[in-house]
Chains A and B, each alone.
Chain A
Amino acid sequence: MSSGKRSNEPFLWLLFSAGGVVAAMLLPIHILLFGLAFPLGLLPSPTYETLVGLAHTLIGRLYLLVLCILPLFHWAHRFRYTLYDGLQIKHLDELVNTFCYGGAILGTVVAAYFIWQIP
């Protein structure tokens, strides 16, 4: 049965799903601690040394890569459809896709660069 080009949407949906799981599992505690508890002094902030000690290991760097990259692609996919349905700009889909997935790729590159730079 021949057909038109088979869409690559499944791949993007897979990234969206993986990112959704990571965002759901890890982001709440990260925001609770780094965004609220530590700045407000409700809990003792980890020292620079502690954080680098955790982050500079291979597993630490991998953790940070996963934490930063996958949720970005989750945002890209979800926001793309929000723009399609919310602002009804599906006809501008090339622009929307470039903004969303391009943004995620840019974030990925930037995050990977800084993670690599951790001493």
Chain B
Amino acid sequence: MPTFTAYPAQGYRARVSTYWWLGRRAYLKFILREISSVFVAWFVLVTVVQIRGLAHGPDAYARIQHRLENPLAIALNLISFFFVVFHAITWFNLAPKAMAVRMGGKRVPAIMISAPNYIAWAVVSAAVAWLLLRG
């Protein structure tokens, strides 16, 4: 492998701070987006506990429901909701970047990829809500 300088690579290297992500608004947004995955995992945990309740009978499920009414649980789930929505929005907005869809030789505008995702999101959410609320 040919080297490109006559001198060995050296020089002053600044150490990357543990708080590098606070240095730029874009980095902070990025880390918050990544942290959203923790809230995703949290609610999957809640869902698994709910399923356990379903599996163990109406009293067990009622106990879980009661636990979810605790203000701390509500607060945590409220925060989770915002993070998961943040995940969804950033996800749908970034989807067009991964897919270079071309029609008639030109790249389709990003909105033509993200819009169907948003629509599907609305439709799926409505369907789930309908199934759960119709009684």
Docked Cα-Cα span, A2 to B88, in Å, equals 40
Per-residue interface assignment for chain A, residues 79 to 97, with 1 indicating a CB less than 8 Å from any chain B CB and 0 otherwise: 1011000111000000000
Which residues on the A side are within 8 Å of B52 (C-beta)? 114, 117
Report how many residues on chain A are interfacial, defined by Cβ distance under 8 Å.
52
Per-residue interface assignment for chain A, residues 1 to 41, with 1 indicating a CB less than 8 Å from any chain B CB and 0 otherwise: 00000000000000000001101111111111111101110
Docked Cα-Cα span, A68 to B65, in Å, equals 18
Docked Cα-Cα span, A67 to B117, in Å, equals 18
Which residues on the B side are within 8 Å of A71 (C-beta)? 40-41, 44
- Whether B128 lies near A44 (C-beta < 8 A) is no
Determine whether A105 belongs to the interface, using a CB cutoff of 8 Å to chain B. Answer: no
Known contacts A39-B73, A114-B48; is A26 also within 8 Å of B128 by CB?
Answer: yes
- B10, chain A: closest CB distance, angstroms: 22
> For A38, A78, A118, which residue has the most chain B Cβ atoms within 10 angstroms?
A78
The secondary structure that dominates the A interface is helix
Which residues on the B side are within 8 Å of A26 (C-beta)? 124-125, 128
Per-residue interface assignment for chain B, residues 33 to 71, with 1 indicating a CB less than 8 Å from any chain A CB and 0 otherwise: 011011011011111101110111010011001001100
A residues adjacent to B (C-beta < 8 A): 20-21, 23-36, 38-40, 43-48, 50-52, 54-55, 64, 67-68, 71-72, 74-75, 78-79, 81-82, 86-88, 107, 110-111, 114-115, 117-119
B residues adjacent to A (C-beta < 8 A): 16, 18, 21, 31, 34-35, 37-38, 40-41, 43-48, 50-52, 54-56, 58, 61-62, 65, 68-69, 73-74, 77-78, 80-81, 84-85, 87-88, 91-92, 117, 120-121, 124-125, 128-129, 131-133, 135
Q: 23 A-B contacts, Cβ less than 8 Å apart?
A: A20-B91, A23-B40, A24-B88, A26-B125, A27-B84, A28-B88, A30-B47, A35-B43, A39-B68, A39-B77, A40-B74, A44-B133, A46-B133, A51-B61, A75-B40, A79-B38, A79-B41, A88-B16, A88-B18, A107-B45, A111-B44, A114-B51, A118-B55
